Each structure stands twice: as C-alpha cells, then as structure tokens.
C-alpha cells in the first residue's frame, strides 16, 4: 500500500501557492459562460413578458403558473392542472430515453467492434464514425428528411427490392424523430464506450471463462460492470442533448411531435415569443437534468464507499 507523499499530487510542492492563479481561467469561463447565462435565465423566468419579445422588469410567477395551471382563456377561472406542457415534457423524456436506448444497443457493439480491431485500423473506424459530423446538424437532419420521405430513396429501394408493396410512412412520426435523434447523437455513445472498452483487460474475460462462466455471464458480470463508466457517460451525453433537441422533432416529427426543445425555441423566435415562459421551461428542464445527475453521482459515491459487493 502506497504511503502518503509517494505519489505526486496537485497539492505537492511543484504547484504550491499557485492554486488561485492557475484556477482563474477555469473560473472565468465557468462564471462567464455557465453561471451568468443561467443566472439571466433564472431572473427572466420571474419577470413579466413583453408582447414583442423581451421582458418588463416586474417580478411575477406568471411564467411558472402558465406552465402548470390552466385558468381559462381570460385567466379568471378556477385553476386546473395544465397538461399540455407536462405532456410535452413527458414525451420528450420518453423520446430521449428511447433514443438513448437505441444508441446504446447499436453503439455498444459498434464500440466493441472498433476497440477489438488491430490498433492500426481503429483510427480509421473512429474516423469513419465521426466523418458525417463534420457536416452541419441542420443539413444532416434535412437530408434524413429527404431519405425517409414517402417517395424518397429508402422507400424506393424497399419497393424495388419487393420487401414492401406500399411506401412506409415514416416522416412526421415518432419513428422519424427517433431516427433523427439516434443519428444525431450516436457518436456521443460510441466514443466514451470505445474509450472504456479499449482499456478493458481481456484477460479478465479469459479468467471468467476459466472460472466456468459462459459468454453471456462474462458479459453481464464482468464486461458490463467494468466498462460501466463509459456506458453511463455515453448515456448522459446522448440523453441530455436529445431531451433539449429541436431540429429533429421540428423537421422530422412535424407539429404533432412537439418536444421541449421546440417549445422553448418557439418562445424566443419571432413576435409570438414569450421570453419569461421560455426561460421558465428551460429552468424546469435544467432542474430535471440536474436531479437525474445528482442521483447518479450519489449512487456512484455510495458504490465507491461500500467497496462494491
């Protein structure tokens, strides 16, 4: 067991007394690009809306009230629970969850495949995975729209191949949104899992097989737990942006398949906007994501403290 002072740490002599100056850039970036914008959003969500966008500096809870309660057209009825926005949120979580699951199911084998290639060809595979992402997301989403149209190439091929007799209607359905999200965020799943699998020591699999484990048991009891940090990182990286995505639902899902991202986007676009409401919806989304991450962090902390059994 290594004694104290054997390993170099950031607290060691080399960096002693430099803590504050060295941390300054990080604090400036976090303060300016993270804390400040979120602070502005938080403040705006409690202000009164101006009809052509913008805010009036008069504190009110109106935005949150509008999100959760329905007080009738003129605002004078008994408040009922407003389900519209809650449903949009629920649908977004569902969609993002499904997209994450799809990315995981396809991304894990892909990452595994790449990580088990000879070192020389791994770079090429990784490059191929990331090449499409050099193209702007908007353009990729629109191309996807053309691909899956009723008379688009996908249906044409399936018809020509005789696999279907009528075009499948994909565009403007949940499936299209799924496809869009999946395609947009797949690399965010593949890359962290790849990094974890690449570090995986394959003699652990041999040891498991030596101790009478089948391939399935080895996957479940050894491989998955060991690469879990990569899987969780991938899931967070796909789930969080999927939850707030608006390009895929807008372009592929049509009006029916509104998601949080589109809802928020609407509030800041054009004259119909309602900035405080958009800010409030953003704050609610942010809180939800934070709650999930905090639960995850606490579960991880507990597992560590317990020494995993």
Contacts to another protein by CB under 8 A: 1, 201, 203-204, 206-214, 217, 221-222, 225-226, 307-309
> Which residues, in sequence order, are CB contacts of 253 under 8 Å at separation 6+?
172, 173, 174, 176, 177, 180, 259
Q: Which is nearer to another protein, 201 or 271 (CB)?
A: 201
CB of 234 within 8 A of CB of 192? yes
Q: Which is nearer to another protein, 54 or 301 (CB)?
A: 301
DSSP state of 253: I
Q: How far is the CB of 226 from another protein (least distance, A)?
A: 6
> Dihedral of CA 2/3/7/11: which sign?
positive
Distance in angstroms (rounded) separating the CA atoms of residues 150 and 134: 28
> Dihedral of CA 295/228/303/309: which sign?
positive
> Which residues, in sequence order, are CB contacts of 176 under 8 Å at separation 6+?
145, 148, 170, 252, 253
Q: How far is the CB of 195 from another protein (least distance, A)?
A: 16
Report the SS3 class of residue 74.
coil
Q: Which is nearer to another protein, 34 or 217 (CB)?
A: 217
Q: Which is nearer to another protein, 7 or 13 (CB)?
A: 7
Report the SS3 class of residue 105.
helix
Q: How far is the CB of 232 from another protein (least distance, A)?
A: 14
Q: How far is the CB of 104 from another protein (least distance, A)?
A: 19
Q: How far is the CB of 307 from another protein (least distance, A)?
A: 5
Q: Which is nearer to another protein, 78 or 203 (CB)?
A: 203
Q: Which is nearer to another protein, 160 or 210 (CB)?
A: 210
Q: How far is the CB of 221 from another protein (least distance, A)?
A: 7
């Amino acid at each position: 067991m290594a004694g104290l002072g054997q390993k170099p740490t950031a607290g060691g002599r080399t960096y002693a007394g430099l803590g504050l100056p060295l941390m300054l850039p990080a604090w400036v970036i976090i303060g300016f690009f993270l804390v400040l914008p979120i602070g502005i959003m938080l403040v705006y969500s409690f202000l009164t809306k101006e009809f052509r966008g913008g805010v009036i500096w008069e504190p009110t809870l109106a935005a949150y009230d509008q999100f959760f309660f329905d007080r009738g057209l003129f605002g004078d009825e008994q408040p009922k629970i407003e389900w519209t926005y809650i449903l949009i949120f629920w649908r977004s979580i569902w969609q993002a969850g499904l997209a994450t699951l799809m990315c995981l199911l396809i991304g894990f084998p892909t990452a595994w495949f790449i990580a088990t290639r000879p070192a020389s060809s791994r770079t090429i595979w990784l490059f191929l995975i990331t090449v499409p992402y050099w193209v702007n997301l908007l353009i990729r989403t629109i191309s996807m729209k053309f691909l899956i149209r009723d008379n688009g190439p996908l249906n044409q091929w399936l018809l020509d191949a005789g696999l279907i007799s009528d075009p499948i209607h994909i565009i403007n359905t949940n499936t299209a949104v799924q496809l869009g999200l999946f395609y947009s965020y797949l690399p965010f799943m593949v890359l962290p899992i790849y990094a974890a699998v690449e570090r995986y020591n394959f003699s652990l699999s041999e040891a498991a097989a030596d101790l009478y484990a089948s391939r399935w048991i080895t996957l479940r009891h050894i491989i998955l737990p060991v690469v879990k940090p990569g899987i969780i990182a991938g899931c967070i990286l796909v789930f969080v942006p999927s939850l707030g995505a608006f390009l895929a639902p807008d372009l592929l899902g049509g009006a029916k398949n509104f998601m949080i991202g589109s809802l928020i986007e609407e509030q800041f676009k054009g004259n119909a906007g309602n900035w405080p409401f958009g800010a409030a919806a953003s704050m609610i989304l942010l809180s939800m994501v934070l709650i999930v991450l905090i639960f995850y962090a606490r579960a991880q902390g507990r597992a560590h403290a317990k020494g995993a059994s």
